[in-house]
Structure 1
Amino acid sequence: MSEPASATQRIVDAITAAIVERRLMPGTKLVEQQLADLFQVSRTLVRQALNQLSRDHLVKLQPARGAFVAEPSVDEARQVFEVRQMIELQLVRQLCKSIAPAQVQALREHLRREAEALARGDVTGRTRLLAEFHVLMARLLGNEVLADLLADLLARCSLIALMYQSSHSAEHSAEEHVAIVDAIEQGDAKTATRLMQEHLGNVERNLQLHPRTVDLATALRIAA
Structure 2
Amino acid sequence: MSEKKSLKQSVYTTLKDAILARKLPPGKQIVENVISESLNISRTPIRSAIDLLAADGLVEIIPNKGAFVINPSLDEVLQAYELRKELEIMAVQKSLDSLAETDFAGMEKIVTLEKEALYSKDLRTYVKANESFHLAITKRSGNIFLNEFIEKLINQTSIYLILFDIFFEENSPQPYGYKEHLEIVELMREKNVEALKKTLERHFDNAIKSLDVQTDYEELDEIFK
Question: TM-score normalised to the size of structure 2?
Answer: 0.65
Residue 152 of structure 2: aligned partner: 149
Q: Alignment length, in residue pairs? A: 192
Q: Which residue of 2 aligns with 1:30?
A: 30
Matched, 1:198 2:197: no
Percent identity over paired residues: 23
Structure 2 unaligned runs (5+)?
213-225
- Alignment of 1:101 with 2:63, yes or no, is no
1:21, 1:181 → 2: CA distance?
31
Deviating 4+ runs (over 4 angstroms): 17-24, 31-35, 140-144, 165-170
Q: Please give the per-residue CA displacement for 1:71-92, whole angstroms capped at 9, x wherever unaligned.
A: 1112212211211221111122
TM norm structure 1: 0.65
Could you tell me how far 1:108 is from its partner in structure 2?
A: 1.0
Root-mean-square deviation over aligned CA pairs: 4.0
Q: SS of the residue aligned with 1:27?
A: coil
Other-structure match for 1:52: 55
Structure 2 equivalent of residue 186 of structure 1: 190
Q: Which residue is equivalent to 1:82?
A: 82
Q: 1:191–1:111: structure 2 CA closer, same or farther, 3 Å change rule? A: same
- 1:131 matched residue in structure 2: 130
Query: Are the structure 2 counterparts of residues 30 and 124 from structure 1 closer, same or farther at C-alpha, using a change threshold of 3 Å?
Result: same
Q: Distance in 1 between matches of 2:110 and 2:52?
A: 30
Deviation of the 1:101 alpha carbon: 1.9
Confirm whether residue 110 of structure 1 aligns to residue 113 of structure 2: no
DSSP-derived class of the 1:67 partner: strand
Residue-by-residue CA offset, 1:181-219 (whole Å, 9 max, x unaligned): 1111222222221111011112224556xxxxxxxxxxx
CA distance in 1, matches of 2:22, 2:95: 29
Q: Which residue is 1:176 aligned to?
A: 180
CA distance in 1, matches of 2:141, 2:21: 25
Q: Label 1:20 to 1:184 Cα distance change in 2 as closer, same or farther (>3 A).
A: farther
Relative distance call for 1:141 and 1:170 in structure 2 (3 A) is farther
Kindly provide the amino acid, as one letter, of the partner of residue 122 in structure 1: K
- How far apart, in 2, do the equivalents of 1:147 and 1:32 lie? 34
- Structure 1 residues 22, 197: CA separation in 2 closer, same or farther (over 3 Å shift)? farther
Structure 1 residue 107: deviation in Å? 0.4
Q: Match of 1:68, SS?
A: strand
Unaligned 5+ runs, structure 1: 209-224
